Structure 1
Amino acid sequence: MKKDPITKSLYGQELLDFISQRIQDYGTIPHKGIIADNFVKHIARKIFIQDGNKEEMINEYLDEIRRDLLLNITHYEKLDTSMRSETSDDIADDAQEAQLCESAKPA
């Protein structure tokens, strides 16, 4: 690696030090769970201020979340299936092209 004649340090060393520091900082940040605590508190406040059966409201909300999750899972399954078929088609096309090239070469 080359050294800077003025600072006598490696070129790019500042960037490497910066990246190392960011990695260390990231390691000290507490990881958030799937459902953020603030989100749950927000929903609890919304349910609290409404009149009616709180448990029924919670169950309706959870049913809505369940439906949304199932719709998203179905959507991703469709994407995954289409991506797999495209990939396998590409592999088959590449294999056919390779066979054509091999058969066209003189022996």
Structure 2
Amino acid sequence: MQAGVWGRKTEYLPQEDGKIRRLVTLADGTVENDEIMTVAASTRINTGLTQRQFSKLLGVSVRTLQEWEQGRRQPTGAAKTLFKIAERQPELLKSLTLDF
């Protein structure tokens, strides 16, 4: 592929309800994937943290976070509460990463 030419473009589009829409478009304009991301994925993206940073902050493995983000498992207990806090106050959760 030539420099400056892209084959696939992924866009993360914030929705009014706080969720994130992921749109994957091929160079020819064909939409390859258009989906609303899970709460876990959209929450993490809204905080601007990597999977590694976010999983460390939550006290879970990266694999567990990936399972939540892909919808194969659902967070429970304290993780659900932290997701709610992160949805409403992403900067608060992000500020906690300074301790890591």
Q: Same fold (TM over 0.5)?
A: no
With a CA cutoff of 8 Å and minimum separation of 6, indicate the structure with the bigger relative contact order.
2
Larger Rg: 1
More helix by share: 1
More strand by share: 2
TM, length-normalised to structure 2:
0.24
TM, length-normalised to structure 1:
0.23
